[in-house]
Amino acid sequence: MNPPPELTWVEVDLAAIRNNVRELMRIAGRPLMAVVKANGYGHGAVAVAQAALQAGASWVGVARCSEGLELRRAGITAPILVLGATPSAEAEAAISSQLSLALYDRGLGEAYARQAAALGRRVSVHIKVDTGMGRLGILPQETASFGKWALEVPELFIEGVFTHFARADESDPGPTLAQIARFREALEALQASGVQPRWTHAANSAAMLRIPEARFDLCRAGIALYGLSPSREVPLPSSFRPALAWKACLASSKDLPAGWGVSYGGEYVTAGIETIGAIPVGYADGWRRSAPNQILMDGQRLEVIGRVCMDYCLVRLPAGGAIGDEVVLIGRQGDERILAEDVALRWGTINYEVVTGIAARVPRVYLGADSLGS
């Protein structure tokens, strides 16, 4: 992959994605739904979905209808579940493109059914049960009557039932086991009302890795697919590989005299003659302004100095730093490595937010697209 394509870019190793999919399926012993919402957690939804399907995933999960449509436009024919809300205005497009929809409300279900009828089709739905997340989903005690109602709407094809865990990434499995118990009760109530969906699913990455009872028929993996740990309490086994690296090329290198302000606000002032480099990555790229930041250059860890700008951040360069030199914001350089988890720690957030926050204007470059071998 040379020459470097842009001022800044993200490299995504699709061989790492395929490796992680195989590891997840080996560990859980279940079919896998590759969750590629939010542009594949910033990695690129289409490329990640294709790699995951090649490696054996059977479903693709997205948060929104528009994300599912993007995958269909790219030619992905695998089953796709919209895990989140689909407003009635999007139902026609969703049904025409054979997206399966989460169902948790009768009014929305009726709107989906009307659209399906108008198209002369049925709509595949997965009933979502709220077992302790407090977000979308019917309550366990409503499941029986909801199931009976849904069964009587001919355009609704009840393909699945699912729930989502709020605390599977914590060290104590107790809250997740309690959610599983409520989910089982809801499943029994559904069955008693005559609903027998093909797919029952609950586990996110954290749950599928460490709570065997959470695995049911299908596991929905997001973060682990990308080689990122669900949390510090639930680290990934060492067989997983992070797929994403964020790189840039130095846009400027120059000597500044003593007493020269660097960046907005002049918060950093040179102590003597200093070589200052401009890295073409700023907060508009998703590189946070409010935080301490580090990068790798020449195999060394450098502190970002002064304020991060919209399009740039600045560093004090070691001798010899020149325009075009490669800078690593996330990833490996020489023996040094900055993980998305390290960035998250500095920013006081989680790795999920770091990678999903990388802006659309940063091009994604794919490595390992070859489907043969690894």
What beta strand segments (E) does 214-369 contain?
219-221, 244-249, 252-256, 261-262, 268-269, 274-279, 294-297, 300-305, 313-316, 326-333, 336-338, 364-367
Q: Considering the complex, state which of residue 172 and residue 335 has its C-beta at the smaller distance from ligand PLP.
A: 172
Choices 42-50, 219-227, 245-253, 311-319; region in contact with ligand PLP by CB under 6 A: 219-227
From 37, 226, 247, 352, the catalytic residue: 37
CB of 249 to ligand PLP, least distance (A): 31
Residue 164 interacts with ligand PLP (CB under 6 A): yes or no? yes
What's the distance, CA 81 to chain centroid?
15
- 354 counts as binding ligand PLP under rule CB under 6 A: no
User: Taking CB under 6 A as the rule, does residue 222 contact ligand PLP?
Assistant: yes
Q: How far is the CB of 37 from ligand PLP (least distance, A)?
A: 6
Applying CB under 6 A, does 351 fall inside the site for ligand PLP? no
Q: Specify the stretch interacting with ligand PLP by CB under 6 A; choose among 66-74, 220-228, 302-310, 354-362.
A: 220-228
Size of the site for ligand PLP (CB under 6 A): 13
Q: Is 205 in the site for ligand PLP (CB under 6 A)?
A: yes
User: Which residue in the set 82, 187, 223, 329 belongs to the binding site for ligand PLP (CB under 6 A)?
Assistant: 223
Site string for ligand PLP, 229-268 (x = CB under 6 A): -x--------------------------------------
Task: Show contacts with ligand PLP in window 23-42 (CB under 6 A).
Answer: 35, 37
Annotated catalytic residue, options 41, 247, 264, 352:
264
37 given a catalytic annotation? yes
112 is catalytic: no
Q: Which is nearer to ligand PLP, 71 or 153 (CB)?
A: 71
Of the candidates 301, 310, 321, 319, the one whose C-alpha atom is nearest the C-alpha of residue 361 is 310
Look up residue 33 and give its amino acid. Answer: M
Tokens of 35: 């969750």
Pick from 70, 186, 67, 81: nearest CA to 123: 81
Strand partners, 315: 277, 304
Distance, CA of 6 to CA of 235 (rounded, Å): 33
Least separation in angstroms between residue 180's CB and ligand PLP is 15
Nearest approach, Cβ of residue 62 and ligand PLP (Å): 9
**At residue 241, what are phi and psi to the nearest 5 degrees?**
-130, 130
Hey, is 268 helix, strand or coil? strand
- Residue 246, both tokens: 């964020």
E strands along the chain, which residues?
8-13, 32-35, 59-62, 80-82, 100-103, 123-128, 156-162, 199-201, 219-221, 244-249, 252-256, 261-262, 268-269, 274-279, 294-297, 300-305, 313-316, 326-333, 336-338, 364-367
Interface ranges with ligand PLP (CB under 6 A):
35, 37, 83, 164, 204-206, 220-224, 230
Catalytic positions: 37, 264
